[in-house]
Amino acid sequence: MKSDKIILDGTRVANEIKEKLVGRVTSLSEKGITPCLATILVGDDPSSETYVRMKGNACKRLGIDSRRIHLPQETTTQNLITVIQQLNDDPTVHGILLQHPVPHQIDERAAFDTIAVEKDVDGVTTLGFAQNAFGFANYPSCTPAAIMAILDYYQIPIAGKHAVVVGRSPILGKPVSLMLLNRNATVTICHSKTEELHRIVRLGDIVVAAVGKPQFIKSDWIQAGAVVIDAGYNPGNVGDVDYEGCLQQAHAITPVPAGVGPVTIAMLLKHTVDAADRVLG
């Protein structure tokens, strides 16, 4: 590996974000406010249970209250909406996170959009997406926010660069594309119907992999000197990028694990503290 390669260490970025939150949580506590994140898990998906537990543990370490609501697999859309509305009305809850995916019988979009935008710390509502598109969202989706935080931490230039985003999900590919566009990148969004995908990816100064397929992005797709952000996480602790191969081409690259993932959780914690801060006006 050449000495000019930069490994974009997400654990380092996340730790700095969390360190800055410690004093804010203490200050809020002195004013009688404990930031509270309510997480809703529907069903018994093992991966979702793990993610919810990780988020709860991260909250506990910072002194953030974590309220977990676990609903049965057969929960209906209306049952779920009722629970979310109760959390919306609870002044001690500052952030609401609905762990996805939800069981097939639930209208996920209806459930997401029930979350009050001032408590949408995971950036999943339609209104939150629209605010992000216009560049003034208080709580953009956490993984896109994490990607931008990593780029900023390592002072990666964005303005004027060509960013290629592989994936168009409403909580990752689309919002990160808009955030990059709002920072004056030229953005190309690729997806399952994109033709000559490898040729388009090779044009990217910044490549964001958000496709959900292990080691999908190959080394010969990456132009020399590109910045590669791997937002994927697949079984076997591998991302959406062929890390070892792309490392040879890239100027900077995120590893998996210890790349985007830790920063995503840190941004969720930050958004929850921000939401609690806004209670004070």
What is residue 160's DSSP assignment?
T
Q: For the CA atoms of 211, 137, 259, 158, what is the dihedral angle to 10 degrees? A: 90
Amino acid at 251: H
Quick count: other Cβ atoms within 10 Å of Cβ 185?
23
Helix and strand numbers, DSSP H then E, in the chain: 10, 9
CA distance 268 to 122: 6
**Rg of the Cα trace of the chain?**
19
**Catalytic site residue 9?**
no
Question: In whole angstroms, what is the distance from residue 217 CA to residue 222 CA?
Answer: 8
- φ/ψ of 163, rounded to 5, equals -105, 130
The alpha carbon of residue 62 and the mean position of all alpha carbons in its chain are separated, in whole angstroms, by: 19
Cα–Cα distance between 53 and 49 in angstroms, integer?
Answer: 6
Burial class, 60, CB count within 10 angstroms (exposed 0-12 / middle 13-18 / buried 19+): exposed
Q: Under DSSP, is residue 150 helix (H, G, I), strand (E, B) or coil?
A: helix
Look up 122 and say whether it is catalytic: yes
Known catalytic residue at 215: no
Give residue for tokens 């996480």: 233
Tell me which of 18, 119, 120, 122 is the catalytic residue: 122
From 9, 18, 55, 215, the catalytic residue: 55
Task: Pull the structure tokens for residue 82.
Answer: 């009722």
Point out the residues that are catalytic: 55, 99, 122
